Structure 1
Amino acid sequence: MARTDRLMRLMDRLRRLPAPVTATRLAAETGVSPRQLYRDIATLRAGGALIDGAAGLGYTLTEDPALPPQSFSRLEIEALRLAVESLAGVGDAELVQAGRDALARIVATLPERQARQALHAVMRCFLQTPDRPAPQVDLGLIRAACWDEQALRIDYADLAGQRTQRVIWPLGLSYSDRSLMLLAHCRLRMDYRVFHVNRIAAASPTGDSFRPHRVAMVRDFARTRGERGASAQR
């Protein structure tokens, strides 16, 4: 795990877990050794976070300079809570947890009255677990390839069951309760394709970058799709 991600996870656990939190609990929650945990606590303190406590006593986060005070309207708070809850109906487990962690960090910066409102929101989402086939590949790898603009080599079975191996430039993921799709530029077909993620049998990075083409390509895909839709309506 990258150092920045590890420190963010530690701050998140300090905000969310009942204080004081023991070093043993924090080490288990963040997946590091106790010795590394003590070093990470020291790093956060050096960065300005006020963390009370010590080894054997537990730790309490009393002030986080990375989270300035925020204020939201009651409706904005409800909207954030509803958006995060709705992820359970379309997203994978990692994405759902990321949404919950982000909301917890936001709530931690709210004044006490607004924090109570966030905990007792009246707008709720009762969507069930996504009713779609589970992916065969690591979604984290695909997300990282999209973010980092890195080409992937995939083993794909189309709707007719025909298997092909191809290199793609992954541009973005589309979530719904029925399907999870990957928009990419297929280097085999030299055209845009939308792949069913559950039909990708294997995926691996090629080490080749297509930066900085992603934004322009997504814009081009949207324009092309719009033109095709307009032609079909004539």
Structure 2
Amino acid sequence: MARTDRLFRLLQAMRVLPAPVTAARLAEETGVSLRSLYRDIDSLRAAGARIEGERGYGYRLTEDHALPPQTFDRMEIEALALGLAEVRHMGDPALAEAAASVLAKVAATLPDASEQHLFHAVSHVYRPEARYPSGLDMSTLRNGCWRETAVSLRYADGEGTVTERTILPLAIVYADRRLVVLAWCCLREAFRMFRTDRILEARAEATSFRPRRASLLRSYLTELRARA
């Protein structure tokens, strides 16, 4: 791993992990020896990062010059805390991890008082169960949307009949009661919604439909509005 990448990973670990973080834990996160870790911490301090702590105690990132300062008012902070909390309860592990990372990065750019407001917001989300429980790994569908590449599905309809589909994934929609994928279905040659709880398997394909995703999505949304 390049040294700059390692230093960035060290900063991110200090943003995300509960402070103070031991040197051993940081060394494990960055995949280096303790000796290298101590040198990396010294390098970050020399570059302007304010890192409190010492060997044998643990470390805390108190000011992060790698990120620009942010200014949010109290209601904006409440909105951030509530929105990220909702994402963490969606039931998608990758999104939950990303939400925690965003929270840590935002907190690292706030003044002390605003940081306390963020971590002690009065708005909370309570969901005893994940909002969108699903055993499906969403990364294949998400990457298909990002990269504009086709995805093959094994899909069960409402009666349990299983079919093989190739789709052009356009968007992932978090509806009130279910998680669906908006897509162009190559089998039906039409726009379709696919419920993720009915997708038995999703496989990435090499077929690209770039740069058609934006125009296809606009057309589908126009069609949905017309139906409504």
TM-score by length of 2: 0.81
CA 1:52–1:72 in 2, change beyond 3 Å: closer, same or farther?
closer
Are 1:86 and 2:72 an aligned pair?
A: no
Q: Distance in 1 between matches of 2:148 and 2:4?
A: 20
Q: What percentage of residue pairs aligned between the two structures are identical?
A: 37
CA 1:176–1:220 in 2, change beyond 3 Å: closer, same or farther?
closer
Q: Distance in 2 between matches of 1:221 and 1:214?
A: 10
The residue that corresponds to 1:34 in the other structure is 32
- Matched residue type, 1:113: A
- Aligned residue pairs total 223
Q: Which runs of at least 4 in structure 1 moved beyond 4 Å after TM superposition? A: 3-9, 56-63
Q: 1:78-99: per-residue Cα shift (whole Å, max 9, x none)?
A: 1110111122443422212211
Q: 1:97-156: per-residue Cα shift (whole Å, max 9, x none)?
A: 211220121011101111111122111122332355523x32122211111111111111
Please report the RMSD computed on the Cα atoms of aligned residues, expressed in angstroms. 3.4
Are 1:113 and 2:148 an aligned pair?
A: no
The residue that corresponds to 1:184 in the other structure is 183
- Matched residue type, 1:152: V
Q: 1:41-60: per-residue Cα shift (whole Å, max 9, x none)?
A: 59x85xx574869xx77666
Q: Distance in 1 between matches of 2:188 and 2:22?
A: 54
The residue that corresponds to 1:201 in the other structure is 200
Q: Distance in 2 between matches of 1:131 and 1:75?
A: 25
List aligned pairs for 1:141-220, cutoff 5 A: 141-176=140-175, 178-220=177-219
Q: Distance in 2 between matches of 1:172 and 1:63?
A: 37
What stretches of structure 1 of length at least 5 have no aligned partner? 230-234
TM-score by length of 1: 0.79
CA 1:5–1:52 in 2, change beyond 3 Å: closer, same or farther?
closer
Compute the displacement of 1:224 (Å): 1.0
CA 1:73–1:62 in 2, change beyond 3 Å: closer, same or farther?
closer
Q: Distance in 2 between matches of 1:11 and 1:139?
A: 28
